[in-house]
């Protein structure tokens, strides 16, 4: 069994930009665990432990053939589940024809997993010492946008949990048509 999710590991130049945003939020009055630079990705669906990797790979290949590569824009900062109770901070990701959301919905229908809109996780929040100030900072960064890049595939990524943090390995890549 492998603990997996479906996503897209970010290109190096985009990771550089995201790390700058992480540095900004790390200065917020809160305690958080930042996602490691090498693990920055767009998440389509967290699957958890899966037994039949071959079946999942086949379904992912089928889904990928339904969609064309798309240009993605990194959007602003968001709090999950909401700004009154912040557990995770993410960057929104958008594309012109809503292909990312369509891919995510097809993955959810055919393969399963969680049902969150595609996003880039920045950190997991452990404790906030000044909720009002953090809410203000999120509001300031909500409408910022970042770089554009092309998503030309979706990846089945194994997540091995270690003391130093998770180690992500792409175990299958399905090219978009």
- Whether 119 is a known active-site residue: answer yes
Among residues 175, 163, 176, 171, the alpha carbon closest in space to that of 52 is found at: 171
Q: Which of 106, 119, 137, 172 is catalytic?
A: 119
CA 51 to chain centre: 23
Phi, psi angles (nearest 5°) of residue 165: 125, 170
**CA 90 – CA 82 distance, rounded (Å):** 11
CA 83 to chain centre: 19
Among residues 100, 88, 158, 91, the alpha carbon closest in space to that of 126 is found at: 88
- Are residues 174 and 111 in contact, defined by beta-carbon separation less than 8 angstroms? no
Report the residue count for the chain. 177
Q: Which of 14, 18, 41, 146 is catalytic?
A: 41
- Whether 172 is a known active-site residue: answer no
**CA 123 – CA 144 distance, rounded (Å):** 18
Helical segments of the chain, H only: 12-26, 53-65, 99-110, 131-141
Residues acting as catalytic residues: 41, 119
């Amino acid at each position: 069994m492998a603990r997996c999710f479906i996503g897209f590991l970010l290109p190096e130049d985009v990771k550089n930009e995201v790390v700058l945003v992480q540095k900004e939020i790390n200065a917020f009055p809160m305690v958080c665990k930042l996602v490691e630079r090498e693990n920055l990705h767009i998440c389509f669906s967290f699957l958890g432990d899966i037994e039949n990797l071959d079946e999942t790979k086949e379904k992912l290949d089928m889904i990928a053939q339904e969609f064309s590569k798309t240009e993605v824009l990194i959007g602003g900062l968001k709090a999950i589940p909401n700004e009154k109770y912040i557990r995770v901070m993410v960057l929104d990701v958008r594309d012109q024809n809503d292909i990312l959301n369509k891919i995510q919905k097809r993955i959810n229908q055919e393969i399963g997993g969680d049902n969150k809109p595609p996003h880039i996780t920045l950190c997991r929040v452990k404790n906030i010492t000044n909720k009002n100030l953090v809410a203000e900072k999120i509001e300031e960064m909500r409408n910022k946008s970042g770089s554009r890049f092309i998503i030309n595939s979706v990846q089945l990524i194994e997540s091995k949990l270690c003391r130093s943090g998770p180690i992500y390995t792409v175990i299958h890549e399905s090219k978009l048509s």
